[in-house]
Each structure stands twice: as C-alpha cells, then as structure tokens.
Amino acid sequence: MLKATILALGMTALGAGTLWAGPYQDSEAQLRAAYGAYRSALFLSNQGKGPETEAALERFSKQWAAITQNWSADPPPQYADDPVLGATFDTVTELAAKAAEEAKAGQLPEAHETLEGVRDAIGELHVRNGIVGFSDRMNDYHAQMERVLTTDYVNMGEEGARELIADASLLSYLAAQVVKHPAPEAATAEGYQKLVDGFAVSVAFFYDAAISGDVERAMVARTKLKPSYAMLFAKFG
C-alpha cells in the first residue's frame, strides 16, 4: 500500500514546460514572479530573518507596483471583468507596506501574520476569475496540512482515528494535485523533482499510517509534513 501511494503521488504530469506566451500567460508569469518575492518574504519572516525579509518585501513591493500600474491601464483578459481588481491591488499594497513596517521594527511574527493576508488576497483573485495555478494548489494543501498539524487525534479516542483517516485522505488528494500539476518551472528548474519527491513521500508515509489505524505511527509521520512542504513552498510554491 505504501509503495503504491508513493508511486501515485510521485507521478509527474507530462507537459510541464508550458510556454508562457500571450497576454494571459504573460500576465500570469508576471504575477508568479512577484509571488516568488512574496513567498521569500513569508518564509524568511517565519525564520526570524529581519534584513532578508525587508529585502524580499522591497522586491515584492516594486513588482506589485508594476503589476498595479500595468494592469490598471490594460487589464489582462482573465481579469478584465473583475469588479474588485482595483481593491485587490490596494489590499495587497497596504498589507505589504504594513509588513515592511513591522519587519523594520523587528516584529517578524506580526509581519508574517500580515503577509498571510497577501496569500489570501491573491488566492481570492484567482478563485473569482476561475484560475487554478500551482500556488493555488499549494495553498489548498497548506490549509489542510494546518488542520492536520493542529488536531489532537490521540486524545479523541476512536473518533480521532476515524477523523485522522478522513483528514489524511483529503491531504493525500491535495498533495496528488500538487504533484500531478507541476510548477511552470518544473521542466527546467534544478532540484524541483527532488523537492516534489520528498513532499510526496512524507504525505505517503502519513497517509499509510493513518489508514492502517496506527495513530501513534501517524503522529510520528505527521512531524515530517511541514518541513517537506516548506522546502517546496519556499522555492516553488
């Protein structure tokens, strides 16, 4: 069962080298580039690295300002009919500025929490306009992972074992979506497959323990989920 789970999660979809061409793809590539700087700021703030967080936020703010200016004048086709596109620009700009102030003041936990709002705002932009990208799938996985990490299955008795199976099954499904729909950079980025494989294996071990009813083993496997996710997220999420 474990081997089958790892193989299923480890399947890499063909066609990862999608060409970023045309107004739709170009704008999504621009957004993904800015999201990369945001991702760095989120990750670094969680690690307590103040100067590095400030530098990443400066990069993100500049890239987001360019997106705001360009898209306000000529919205990409996928966002042309979004009535709250301007509000999204404002929300993200304000959150980035607030996080920058907090980082400068050494308030990195606060900056990290503020930056979570950027993830939500950009995710909602995609949801409103029917777009699902690699980062959206990573965010869906992250939300379920946080539930798994914070649920006290051990002290819930038989109900805990049943809930663990349900939660692990959903987590496994969401992980499979991440693996089967690679990041745009997957075909050319060094180290991508290794990170994805580590991510998939950690989920497979957790899932296998959960469905076998071995709560204790599942709790041990659970400790490996966040590190493998964080490494993939930091570089590609």
CATH 1.20.120.660 fits 22-128, yes or no: yes
> Residues 183-232: pLDDT tens digits?
998 888 889 999 999 999 999 999 999 999 999 999 999 999 999 999 99
Which residue intervals of the chain bear CATH 1.20.120.10? Answer: 134-236
CB contact at 8 A, 218 and 167: no
Which residue intervals of the chain bear CATH 1.20.120.660? Answer: 22-128
Alpha helical stretches, state H, the chain:
2-9, 22-46, 50-73, 85-104, 108-128, 134-150, 157-180, 192-211, 215-222, 225-236
CATH top-level class of 134-236: mainly alpha
> Residues 63-88: pLDDT tens digits?
999 999 999 999 999 999 999 999 99
